[in-house]
Chains A and B, each alone.
Chain A
Amino acid sequence: MAQRIGIEVSRAVSIAVKLADADVISAYPITPQTHIVEDLSELVANGELEASFIPVESEHSALSACLGSAAVGARTFTATASQGLELMHEVLYVASAMRFPIVMAVANRAVAAPISIWGDHSDVMSTRDTGWIQIFAANGQEAFDTVLCAFRIGEDSRVLLPVMVNLDGFHLTHVIEPIAIAEVDVVKRFIPPCKYPLPLDPDRPVSMGAVGPPYIYPEAKKAQQVNLAASKEVILQCWQEFGDLFGRYYSPLECYRCEGAKALLLAMGSFSETAITMWG
């Protein structure tokens, strides 16, 4: 049985990345995401996770480094929040269009001005059309589980797209919750090795990120859109298998006391748990 322990959610996220056996982590610290990368940096430094941790000078560089590692087929993780996500913005489009299955935790935080380190979703809303799959976690357990699922979904040969795991800054990242930490053997069964179909390889040279003249560009965007739409089927299948293995089942929309309701609250992330507690 999986062990259920009291742990800060940021730590649980980094443990999920360790259990998924990520090869490369490149990130820049920013509140309230810092604990995630801090912890990962420690896990790599003390040999608990055999991965490259690439320290960089900005979020733009962090995600750019992730492009490179994903291009060779390495399992790649990064994390950010707020202004950091905005600084990554142009690279977000490149990651999804080049179909790199990077997993990124976003510790959702408001965007300046005025400067705010507190939680809201305005950082990630501006990235809605960047072609990433986005999943919002309602609690610490969901954040942990979603990171595992994100690697599996993104790297699926029918998907090959980057995935953002959204967890509310402070409301989730900095609270200690009881979380069932999965066992490494089960995680290994759940997430097969990363096999990017056309990685950079001197024996099989390819060109990546070339110019797409006007007769190629819309075709490339169409292919990307078709795959993003088709990913829903893979996500549902992944969650079903996750539930069968770990006993926790997820769905795109979860209803609570909706039948016959006169008013409905539609919420994403941890706010939905608040709503359940308030009205439950």
Chain B
Amino acid sequence: MTKAGNELSWKDLEVGSIITEPGNASQYQTGDWRTQKPTYEHSRCIKCGLCSIFCPEGCIEPNQEGFYEANLFYCKGCGICARECWTKAIIMVEEA
């Protein structure tokens, strides 16, 4: 897609709105639905990865040091990771 989704006009769409670039859903920034975002207290994190298993968006991965963090481009801020975390290492805060 040469244009961002919200810049497309009716003249740009393929017939029947067919998508010719498979996998372009990854360009959709679901992160802008968010009203809260996860923050991390790494001293409490035991790197169990439970948050990444529960994440409905599948957007939590370990960073270079092995601490699990959400990719905020996709994170919708549901807070399930914070709720499930054994050690309360994830704290949801209001978006600025």
Residues of A within 8 A of B (CB): 97-100, 160, 197-198, 205-208, 210, 212-213, 215-216, 219-220, 222-223, 226
Some 17 contacts from A to B, beta carbons below 8 A apart, are: A97-B16, A198-B15, A205-B22, A206-B18, A206-B22, A210-B17, A210-B19, A210-B25, A215-B8, A216-B5, A216-B13, A219-B10, A219-B12, A220-B17, A223-B13, A223-B17, A226-B10
CA distance A253 to B25 in the complex (A): 47
Q: Does B6 make an interface contact (CB < 8 A)? A: yes
B10 touches A198 (CB 8 A): no
A residues in contact with B15, CB < 8 Å: 99, 160, 197-198
**What does DSSP make chain B's interface, helix, strand, loop or mixed?**
loop
Closest to A220 in B: B17
Taking the nearest CB of chain B, how far is it from the CB of A82, in angstroms?
28
Chain B: interface size category:
10 to 19
CA distance A216 to B13 in the complex (A): 9
B20 touches A206 (CB 8 A): yes
B22 touches A198 (CB 8 A): no
A198 touches B5 (CB 8 A): no
Question: Nearest 10 A-B pairs (CB), nearest first?
Answer: A99-B16, A207-B19, A222-B10, A223-B10, A219-B10, A98-B16, A215-B6, A220-B17, A198-B18, A205-B22
A residues in contact with B18, CB < 8 Å: 98, 198, 206-208
Q: Which of A205, A210, A219 contacts B8 (CB 8 A)?
A: A219
